[in-house]
Amino acid sequence: MVQEEHGLRVAYLGPMASYTHQAALDTFPQSRNHTLTPVPDIPSIFQAVQSNNAERGVIPFENSTNGSVVQTLDLLADSKNQYPNIQMCGEAFVRVQHYLLGRKSTSHSQSQPTHRSSPSGANLRHVKSLYSHPQAWTQCTPFLSSAVPGRERHDTSSTSRAAEIVAADKSGSSAAICSALAAELYGLDVLAPDIEEKKGNMTRFLIIRNSPTTSPSSPLSQNGSSSSWKSLLSFTLPQTGSPGALAQALAVFGKYGINLTSMNSRPSGERPWHYIFFIEFQGRRGDGKVDNALAELQSVVARWKTLGTWMSNGGQDGG
Ligand SMILES: O=C(O)C(=O)C[C@]1(C(=O)O)C=C[C@@H](O)C=C1
C-alpha cells in the first residue's frame, strides 16, 4: 500500500499550496522521506511518471460540486498513446475551502456607500481582476456574483499559481481564489474566507504510477476483500448508431454482480461523436467475477484498457 512506501519521488500540480499539493502531502508524508516536486500542469505529471522521472504522480480527478476534471479524463483517454504505462494505484480526498486572497484596500469604505464588501467585511471595490483555476470558479458561483460581479477573470494552471501571480502584482488590484495555505506562503491578505458554495466541497485525487503490465493482482486473502478495492477502465464502442451497445457493455457488470461507482465519457478523438467511456467499479482483477466480466466485455467493446486498481479509502476527507 502507498502509506508503507518510503523515499518516492512524487510529481504534483504546483506551485506549492495547490490542493493537489495538499493531497500529495497527505498521501506521501515527508516523515517517510518522499520528495514532492511541483510541475506546471497536469500533462507534466503524466510525463514525469511515464518517463520515470517520478515514481508517483498526484492528479485531480473529480470535485463534489463541479464533477469531473475533464483534462485528467482526456489524459487518461491518451488518444495519442503518449502515456501507455500510466496506471492508478491510490486515491486521496481533500476538503476544498476556497479563500479570496489579495491586498486589503487602504481606502475608507465608509465614505463610499457603493462599495461592495466580502462576507468578512473587507472592501472589495479595489479588486479589478480575478485569477484562479477554471475548476474553482464554478465552486464559488454565489460569492462571485454577489461580492465581485463583473470582474475580469483569468484562468490559471492551478489555484496556487493564481496566488503567485497576485502576489507579484504590486498594484494590489487583483485577487486569487485559492487555499488558506497560499495566503501564508505568498504573503497575501484574506479578503474573504470560505467562499465555496457547498460547505462540504471536496476533491478526489488519484495517484498514478508507471506500470507497463496490468497483471492480475496478488491473492485477495492477503489484501482484504474485493469490495475494498476500486478499479478504473476505459472502453470505446464498435461504431456509432449501434443500438444497445453501451447498455450491453454495462449489463456485463450487472450480470456478475459488480457495483459500478462512477461513469464518465469524453470524445474519443477517433472521429466526431464517438466516445470513450470510463467506468469505475468495486473489485479488481484476480477476483473471479471481475475476470469473467472483463473477458466478456472484450466481446462487446472495440478497444479497452484497464487503468488501475487501488484500495478505496471510503470517500473520507484525506486531510
Ligand atoms: O488548482 C489547484 O489547486 C488544484 O490542485 C487543481 C484543482 C482541480 O483541478 O480540481 C483541485 C482542487 C480544486 O477543485 C480546484 C483545482
284 and 238 in a common domain = yes
Count CA atoms within 13 Å of residue 109 on its CB side: 13
Query: How open is the CA angle 236-238-240, to the nearest 5 degrees?
Result: 95
Residue 161 has pLDDT above 90, yes or no: yes
Same domain membership, residue 206 and residue 90: yes
Lowest-confidence segment of 112-116, 231-235, 263-267, 283-287 by average pLDDT: 112-116
Residues 224 and 314 in one domain: yes
Closest of 119, 118, 124 to residue 104, by C-alpha: 124
The ligand 1 atom at the shortest distance from the C-alpha of residue 72 is 9
| CATH code (residue 165) | 3.40.190.10
Pairing of strands 86-95, 152-155: unpaired
Q: What is the pLDDT of residue 313?
A: 75
Separation of 20 CA from ligand 1 center, angstroms? 6
Same domain, 60 and 205: yes
Q: Output the CA 95–ligand 1 centroid distance in Å.
A: 11
Question: What distance in angstroms lies between residue 191's CA and the mean position of ligand 1's atoms?
Answer: 20
Which tens digit of pLDDT belongs to each residue from 101-151?
999 987 654 434 333 455 555 689 999 999 999 999 999 999 999 999 999
Q: Which residues line ligand 1 (CB under 6 A)?
A: 13, 18-20, 60, 63, 69, 96, 133, 135-136, 158-160, 203
Q: How many domains does the chain have?
A: 3
Q: How many CB atoms lie within 10 A of CB 157?
A: 18
Same domain, 70 and 105: no
Q: Whose CA is nearest to atom 6 of ligand 1?
A: 158
Q: Is residue 22 very low, low, confident or very high in pLDDT (cuts 50, 70, 90)?
A: very high
What would the pLDDT profile of 70-103 be if each residue is shown by its tens digit?
999 999 999 999 999 999 999 999 999 999 999 9
Q: Are residues 71 and 209 in the same domain?
A: yes
Domain co-membership, 302 together with 283: yes
Q: Are residues 184 and 205 in the same domain?
A: no
Q: Which pLDDT score, from 0 to 100, does residue 108 have? A: 52
For the stretch 216-235, pLDDT in tens is 444 444 455 666 999 999 99
Q: What CA–CA distance (Å, rounded) separates 31 from 293?
A: 41
Which structural domain, as residue segments, surrounds residue 219?
215-319
Q: What percent of the chain has pLDDT over 70?
A: 87
User: Which 3 state secondary structure label does DSSP give 48?
Assistant: helix
Atom of ligand 1 nearest to the CA of 19: 5
DSSP character for 14?
Answer: S
Strands 152-155 and 129-132: parallel
Beta bridge partners of 207: 58, 90
Q: Is there a single domain that holds both residue 155 and residue 107?
A: yes
Q: With cut-offs at 50, 70 and 90, classify the pLDDT of residue 156.
A: very high
**Which of 158, 192, 226 is where one domain is finished?**
192
The CA distance from 37 to 55, in Å, is: 11
Q: Among residues of the chain, what percentage have pLDDT more than 90?
A: 79
**Same domain membership, residue 75 and residue 132:** no
Do 82 and 207 belong together in one domain?
A: yes
Q: What is the CATH number of the domain that holds 253?
A: 3.30.70.260
